[in-house]
Structure 1
């Protein structure tokens, strides 16, 4: 056997081993309860209280319910008091746990000193940074965004600054106790540069990178910090798309994502979304970034809005008519 033949045999064996390991790791994702089990007392062992931002509806609301059902008291935060009060009432009636409501608008400046005062001295074991803002449901190029200066500030405040500030407020207590869980909600589309939603996806890249770096810093302190990057979830931000294998209900997504809490520093939260993430990354960039593809995406969403009056009504009701979606 000559040297060249030995080289190609070794290369082939290495490729087989590499993809064999990847297949084995993927198979674990099919059975999260088996490979990443959580005890019945896992969440309550982290602390007495859970904090969920953007908890008035959608994914945040379901995280609040799920954590209360695990025996935690919950602090729910959003900008709509009426809705928060209703959610609090439902959680108390369903679970019997205590609920604290904090009304705040995360798109605004100078709100965190008051939040810190209200959270002082609480034994907070879980933080879910869920609140997020989609500048416009209808995709558009960056310079075509309505009221661009204000939009930039609001997106950074809501999607970037809030997550970092909430970690700054709550993480010290977790570090002192040597335990805690922080879940930061990113987005599946942030796994690649995504034109027409550039500002939104870029802000979600920050969520992911910040989470991964923070986990590296505090993993040895007994703290789990995970970025969760969902694709389709039927919420107001996604115009309540019909649920299917790919587009999950908020309840099903949260139930699934919690099963992957020990699956790594980043997860898409659902086996179907994990597969979507892989598929999206193999699309040739020239196809995805082509002008014709961007125009097709915009036309498709506009058509959907025109065909579904409920989408139009929901869009107009948020952000003073500027198509903003804050969840």
Structure 2
């Protein structure tokens, strides 16, 4: 056997082993309860309270309910007092033993975090869910066309709550991102990249402190941000998505939260970047989202006149 033959045999073996290991690791995601088991006392062992931002609706509300059902008291935060009060009442009815603290705040305003910190200072916070990172704008646009580049609240909430977790050596932070962060994605640059990279860097820094920091990156979820799309196998309800995503909290510093969305992320990574970055594709994406928005507004106007 000459050198070149031996080289190609070794190379082929290495490729087979490499992809075999990747397939094995991927297959674990299909059985989260088997590979990433979570004890019934897991959440309450982190601390007494969970803080959920953007919790008046959608994914944030679903996280607040799910964590309350796990036995945690919850702090719910948003700018809508009426909606938060309704969420608090619903949690009180369904989980009679859990306390709910309501904080009215608008993360788009400046100088709000000292007041939030004052209201949280005496609480033993074990879980933080940063869910306020909204799209810079609903219609996809290029980076410099966004007028909300400076509205990022997750870092301030982490700075506020992380010290207590580090001193106790336990805690969990979930930063809600988006599945489009799987690759550099045109038109969603700010939203797609920052939360995921921030979470991964923070986890690397504080993993040894016993703190779990994870980026949760869903694709389709039927919320106000996505125009309340009809649920399907791909577009999940907030409640279903949160239920599935909590099964992956021990699966690493990033999860797409459900089997379907994990597969979507894998497929997205196989698409050649040149195709995604082509101007016709970008233009088609903009037109598609605009059309969906117009259809929703038309349906709403029709219902209002009936």
Q: Distance in 2 between matches of 1:229 and 1:312?
A: 29
Shift of 1:282: 1.8
**What is residue 289 of structure 2 aligned with on the other side?**
301
Corresponding residue for 2:135? Answer: 134
Contact 1:239/1:311 (8 A) holds in 2: no
Picking from 252, 261, 267, the partner of 2:255 is 267
User: Would the aligned equivalents of 1:305 and 1:312 in 2 still touch at CA under 8 Å?
Assistant: no
Q: Secondary structure of 1:237's partner?
A: coil
- Give unpaired runs (5+ residues) of structure 2: 302-306
- Partner of residue 109, structure 1: 110
CA contact (8 A) 2:133 2:191 kept: no
* Cα distance in 2, alignment partners of residues 141 and 41 from structure 1: 44
Q: Is the 8 A contact 2:248 2:257 kept in 1?
A: yes
SS of residue matched to 1:118: helix
Residue 74 of structure 1: aligned partner: 74
Partner of residue 84, structure 2: 84
CA drift at 1:274: 1.0
Q: 2:304: which partner in 1?
A: none
Does structure 2 retain, via aligned residues, the 8 Å contact 1:305–1:311?
no
Pairs within 5 Å for 1:131-170: 131-145=132-146, 148=147, 151-152=148-149, 156-157=150-151, 160=152, 162-170=153-161
**Counterpart residue number, 2:120:** 119
Deviation for aligned residue 1:134: 1.9
- Match for residue 184 of structure 2 among 193, 216, 227: 193
Q: Secondary structure at the match of 2:225?
A: helix
Q: Distance in 2 between matches of 1:184 and 1:301?
A: 25
State the TM-score, normalized to the length of structure 2: 0.94
Given the alignment of the two structures, is residue 285 of structure 1 paired with residue 273 of structure 2, yes or no?
yes
Contact 2:51 2:129 in 1 (8 A): yes
Moved more, 301-310 or 18-27: 301-310
Change (3 A) 1:217 1:200: closer
Secondary structure of 2:129 counterpart: strand
Write out per-residue CA displacement over residues 103-122 of structure 1, whole angstroms, 9 at most, x where no aligned residue.
10111111000000000121
Matched, 1:239 2:239: no
Alignment RMSD: 1.5
Asked if the contact 2:177–2:191 (Cα under 8 Å) also holds between the matched residues in 1, the reply is: no
Q: Which runs of 5+ in 1 are unaligned?
A: 314-327
How many aligned residue pairs are there? 300
Query: Normalization by structure 1: what TM-score?
Result: 0.88
1:153-189 per-residue CA deviation (whole Å, 9 max, x = no partner) reads xxx32xx3x1111111111111111111111111111
Q: What is the distance in 2 between the residues matched to 1:26 and 1:141?
A: 33
Conservation of the 8 A alpha-carbon contact between 2:177 and 2:217: yes
Cα drift, residue 42 of structure 1:
0.7
> For residues 5 and 95 of structure 2, what CA distance do their matches in structure 1 show?
66
1:184 aligns with 2:175: yes
Structure 2: distance between partners of 1:52 and 1:310: 33
- Measure how far apart 1:61 and its partner are: 0.2
Are the structure 2 counterparts of residues 310 and 40 from structure 1 closer, same or farther at C-alpha, using a change threshold of 3 Å?
farther
How big is the shift at 1:243?
1.1
Bigger RCO of structures 1 and 2 (CA < 8 A, at least 6 apart): 1
